[in-house]
Amino acid sequence: MESITQVTDLQSIFVEIDNSFDEIVSWRRYLHQHPELSFEETETAKYIADKLESFGLEVKKNIGGNGLIGILTGVQPGKTIALRADFDALPIEDEKEVPYKSVNPGVMHACGHDGHTTALLGTAQVLSKYRDKVKGKVIFIFQPAEEKPPGGAKFMIEENVLEDVDYVFAAHLDSKVPIGKVSVGEGYKMAAVDKFEIKIQGLGGHGARPQDSVDSIVIGSEIVNSLQKIVSRRINPLESAVVTIGVFHAGSAFNIIADTAKLEGTVRTFSESVRKQVREEIYSIVKGITEGFHANAEIDYLHGYPALYNHPKESYLVQQLLSDVFGEDQVIDIETSMGAEDFSYFLLEKPGTYFKVGSNNEDESTHYPHHHPKFDFDERALLNIQKSFVQIVAHYLF
């Protein structure tokens, strides 16, 4: 049960968050104008570090690359809560006609990472003013390279960023959900993502003499068709899996039989046993088809992010805490997705949950999906992320 003092503190903090809206919007728009690609976010990291230092926090830089953390140590001992935001952008041309349009050609914050970063900075700023209320520590984790495997989370964890952390949480903007709503849920909520590349070596020749050739396009086509049967005929129908071919490159002219072909695709799964089975099936199918056509093949298989698993106890707790902030009818079940998110690495190490915050309104400009060149959001969602984080921290540390 919250004490009257704690409730009063939270109300004061929420008022401060609301009053800081113009300031954090200016931060978000600066970041939106100056995006940097995964593993290249040096200037963004400097911007974040300067802000954290201005709040009086201890800052540790260059963790697992461009990653950094801010540390807020309370006046009394207690648990350690970690909050994470990502800050890399995507190789997309910004097509919005707004004053804060990206100034870096071909690079854009098209997934809301500028918003995540800004909201976590805002959370750090306001909580730094209530250090005397904190019993324990808050670790503000700013992670680079979420968009590009192997991702930044893995490298930050390898450098012990979660050492002594008790719980870890993250929020993501959601353009499919209206402003004011948040979504939470336990269990597997995002899939493991793997990438594979298949190089087929046949024997080129004249289009009029196929008998003298080994046609890599025909072989590649057989492989594409056969891979689609893995999910429908080899995987238990009560399990979930996706096998998608996104690239098929071969050939140079209409009358030449191509000697080589390259396929690229992705595998999405939740279960580790299914993940392993799909990989084995791909190798078996490729081997059988290429040998049957007297060709050779090489497979490069990359294990990407693991499936994201929201811990039940912490997910239920966050659901209750956010219901207190936004109202029970505003907290909905988070959608299960075959998309991927490298916050999954954090949740493999520590209990916690990943939740989403609605960011669209009646304006069509906020309805574009993530990774769209016109992606944008209702900036009031930044306030809702901050209030969510503060509510979680207060539960554990106030």
Domain boundaries, the chain: 4-189+308-397, 192-303
Q: Which of the residues 86, 146, 376, 379 is marked catalytic? A: 146
Torsion, CA 132, CA 156, CA 349, CA 342, rounded to 10: 110
Rounded distance between C-alpha atoms, residue 124 and residue 139, angstroms: 9
Q: What is the mean pLDDT of residues 195-215?
A: 97
Q: Which of the residues 36, 88, 114, 341 is marked catalytic? A: 88
- Say whether pLDDT at 64 is over 60: yes
- Say whether pLDDT at 4 is over 80: no
Closest CA to 248 of 223, 228, 231: 223
Convert the pLDDT of each residue in 300-347 to its tens digit: 999 999 999 999 999 999 999 999 999 999 999 999 999 999 999 999
Hey, what CATH topology would domain 4-189+308-397 get? Aminopeptidase (3.40.630)
So what's the pLDDT on residue 2? Answer: 59
Q: What is the mean pLDDT of residues 362-391?
A: 98
The pLDDT confidence band at residue 9, using thresholds 50, 70 and 90, is confident
So what's the pLDDT on residue 37? Answer: 98
- Say whether pLDDT at 384 is over 60: yes
Closest CA to 267 of 313, 222, 311, 235: 235
Question: Is 88 annotated in the active site?
Answer: yes
Closest CA to 142 of 97, 83, 93: 83
Give Rg (Cα) of the chain: 24
Hey, what CATH topology would domain 192-303 get? Alpha-Beta Plaits (3.30.70)
Rounded distance between C-alpha atoms, residue 194 and residue 302, angstroms: 6
Question: Is 146 annotated in the active site?
Answer: yes
Indicate the length of the chain as a whole number.
398
Q: What is the mean pLDDT of residues 174-189?
A: 98
User: What average pLDDT does the structure give for the chain?
Assistant: 97
Ligand-binding annotation for 371, yes or no, is yes
Ligand-binding annotation for 113, yes or no, is yes
Convert the pLDDT of each residue in 288-298 to its tens digit: 999 999 999 99
- Say whether pLDDT at 1 is over 60: no
Q: Which pTM value belongs to this model?
A: 0.93
Q: What is the mean pLDDT of residues 152-177?
A: 98
Ligand-binding annotation for 370, yes or no, is no
Map residue 392 onto helix, strand or coil: helix
Convert the pLDDT of each residue in 112-163 to its tens digit: 999 999 999 999 999 999 999 999 999 999 999 999 999 999 999 999 999 9
Rounded distance between C-alpha atoms, residue 341 and residue 146, angstroms: 7
The pLDDT confidence band at residue 5, using thresholds 50, 70 and 90, is low
Ligand-binding annotation for 95, yes or no, is no
So what's the pLDDT on residue 109? Answer: 98
Convert the pLDDT of each residue in 86-112 to its tens digit: 999 999 999 999 999 999 999 999 999
